[in-house]
């Protein structure tokens, strides 16, 4: 009996050190890979509904464009082109939302447009001649979240895809930026005066989840609902950080010697696309993410086909996990064998 107790104690101790043993473990980056690398500015990526492609903005110097590429950075194709500014794409089941600048004489404002298919001419969703930017679909493409200028500042609004039921959710009359849906569309995370806040979809129950002197922008909710990725200049350059929706477990996810902004989770939760700024140039990168959310099983991700750089620490953790798992299995087998042997002796 004493040997069995010792074995169970050893198993308990080992479980405390296995990286994936609890659902509270932080997501970790297992690989980083660059998807664009040209002299043009390429930024603000958004995943296709099936995660097979990305749409992103390109500043072509003489025009603004939306391009589409495969998830490994191959097969880049221009989707839209305009001499006026366009960007901030969000790809949903019903099409790609984006903002576009209208400029004629003294009338300059941003409108929200939708590109519904390759053979369908994009159509305008907003027509009130006030700036409307940062559009995004909810989880089932029944509502659109956006920033609309009221007086001198932007506020958070929602509307139906047919532009009905336009509803204003915030009334701060000061700096509100980059709102994003929760995965079930019941809540919205946004940046207000440099900090992150979360509220219900009807604008109620506003809760502040960061409170410091740094700039927190571009929040993106993970598909499992357990994490919010965002960009922060807490460490000098802008890094990608993660935080729980209640404000706990705030930590750096991706930190390099360059600015990293505009994170966007893939729908299966295994990848994070983002924008980097280095050497006066913007490029699209992506990270392979290990995440162990509670009560959530993501679909099998499509393998990454591009050359990737494995993070040494992550690789070491995976090796340790395999070793620990093997040790635990051996100890459990020994415990059961010990029981069987003792039972045979009693007979």
pTM above the 0.95 mark? Answer: no
Could you read off the pLDDT of 168-177 as tens digits, one per residue? 999 999 989 9
Distances (CA, A) of 120 to 80, 137, 277, 322: 12, 19, 34, 51
Q: What span, in angstroms and rounded, lies between the C-alpha atoms of 145 and 253?
A: 26
Could you read off the pLDDT of 186-231 as tens digits, one per residue? 999 999 999 999 999 999 999 999 999 999 999 999 999 999 999 9
* Over residues 68-96, mean pLDDT: 95
* Over residues 84-96, mean pLDDT: 95
Distances (CA, A) of 137 to 21, 178, 194: 34, 13, 24
* From 59-68, 72-81, 278-287, 303-312, the region with the lowest mean pLDDT: 303-312
Could you read off the pLDDT of 222-242 as tens digits, one per residue? 999 999 999 999 988 999 999
Angle CA(239)–CA(243)–CA(249) in degrees, nearest 5?
Answer: 110
Q: What span, in angstroms and rounded, lies between the C-alpha atoms of 162 and 127?
A: 12
What's the fold here for domain 27-312? Neuraminidase (2.120.10)
- Domain ranges (residues) in the chain: 27-312
């Amino acid at each position: 009996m004493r040997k069995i107790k010792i074995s169970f104690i050893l198993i308990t101790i080992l479980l405390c050190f296995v990286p994936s043993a609890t659902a509270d473990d932080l997501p970790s980056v297992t690989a980083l890979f660059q998807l664009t690398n040209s002299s043009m500015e390429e930024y603000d990526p958004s995943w296709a509904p099936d995660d097979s492609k990305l749409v992103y903005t390109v500043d072509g110097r003489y025009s603004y464009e939306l391009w589409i590429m495969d998830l490994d950075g191959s097969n880049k194709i221009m989707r839209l082109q305009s001499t006026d500014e366009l960007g901030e794409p969000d790809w949903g089941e019903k099409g790609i939302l984006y903002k576009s600048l209208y400029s004629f004489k003294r009338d300059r404002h941003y409108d929200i447009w939708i590109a519904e298919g390759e053979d369908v001419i994009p159509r305008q969703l907003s027509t009130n001649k006030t700036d409307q930017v940062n559009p995004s679909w909810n989880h089932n493409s029944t509502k659109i979240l956006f920033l609309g200028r009221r007086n001198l500042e932007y506020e958070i609004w929602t509307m139906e895809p047919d532009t009905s039921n336009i509803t204003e959710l915030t009334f701060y009359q000061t700096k509100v930026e980059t709102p994003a849906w929760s995965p079930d569309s019941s809540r919205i995370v946004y940046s207000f005066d440099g900090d992150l806040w979360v509220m219900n979809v009807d604008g109620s129950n506003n809760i502040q989840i960061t409170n410091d002197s740094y700039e927190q922008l571009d929040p993106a909710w993970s598909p499992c609902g357990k994490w919010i990725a965002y960009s922060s200049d807490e460490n000098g350059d802008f890094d990608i950080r993660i935080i729980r929706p209640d404000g706990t477990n705030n930590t750096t996810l991706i930190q390099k010697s360059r600015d990293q902004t505009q994170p966007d989770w893939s729908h299966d939760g295994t990848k994070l696309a983002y924008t980097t700024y280095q050497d006066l140039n913007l490029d699209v990168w992506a990270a392979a993410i290990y995440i162990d959310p509670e009560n959530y099983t993501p679909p099998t991700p499509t393998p990454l086909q591009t050359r990737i750089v494995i993070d040494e620490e992550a690789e070491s953790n995976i090796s340790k996990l395999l070793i620990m798992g093997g040790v635990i299995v051996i100890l459990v087998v020994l415990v059961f064998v010990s029981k069987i042997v003792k039972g045979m002796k009693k007979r």
